Amino acid sequence: MSHDHCLPIWHTKALKFGNIFARGLTSTIQTDFAPEFSSCFAMKSVGSGGRKRTRGRARGNALDRSVQKWVTEGKVPKNNPYMTSLAAEISRRGWLPVSAQATAGCQELRLATKVDLICTNEKQQIILIEIKTGYAYYFDVHNQGCFRFPFDSISMSCRNLAFLQLLFTTYLYLHARPNIAYGGSYLIHLFEEDQCQCVPLPTFFFSDPEVLPTALECMRRSKNKNKRTRQCELTNGKRRKKRCV
């Protein structure tokens, strides 16, 4: 499939291609491949374990700002255990942070996102990193079936949803930069404030060369569907609550 790629531009609170607003990658993935999945259901199925619920989105946004400041100023923000763990992991692997929140997108798909963190390794290859915080006790809960075609052999979980996000982020970033030296994509999970896990994108997400082109074609078709019609198709005519109560 031929794509006309260009870099989206951040405008107020959204990414745009010129005057056209881009679709967010995370919400598009959930709509097209995991409409039945709920992180709240995963969390409730294992119980809170006495842990206090925190504001995940606000925490993630705050971390994004801290990562940008770290990359720009070269100093790890003080009194931030997540940043301390992240910086220690990056240093341990011998990577050098060079960019944060870099835009990537495809105008034909009207799809855009930001790369959480970009580093270079000792070979001067680009390392793409997706960062997730929290999910400490339900990141790997697999109790909601599998993703939709063409990922229907992969069970849905918070971790696998993050891997899907990393897969498409990698595609959007690299396809617009075919000559860049690429060294891999990694998911970094920061949890319990001082715990960090860094895992490469699993090969089973891209081992079949037909899977990604098929998924991109699904996204292209969904772009052209009426939003209300698509929601009805995916939820059998019922509105689904997204908020965790």
Span 102-144, pLDDT tens digits: 989 888 898 999 999 999 999 999 999 999 998 878 999 999 9
Could you tell me the pTM of the whole model?
0.84
Query: How far is Cα 49 from Cα 41, in angstroms, rounded to an integer?
Result: 15
pLDDT at residue 64 above 80?
yes
pLDDT for the residue 7? 64
CATH code that applies to domain 24-235: 3.90.320
Cα–Cα distances in Å, from 112 out to 115, 165, 167? 10, 11, 13
Span 20-61, pLDDT tens digits: 888 999 999 999 999 999 998 998 888 755 455 556 677 788
Q: Domains of the chain: which residue ranges?
A: 24-235
Phi-psi region of 119 (alpha: psi -120 to 50; beta: other; left: phi over 0): beta
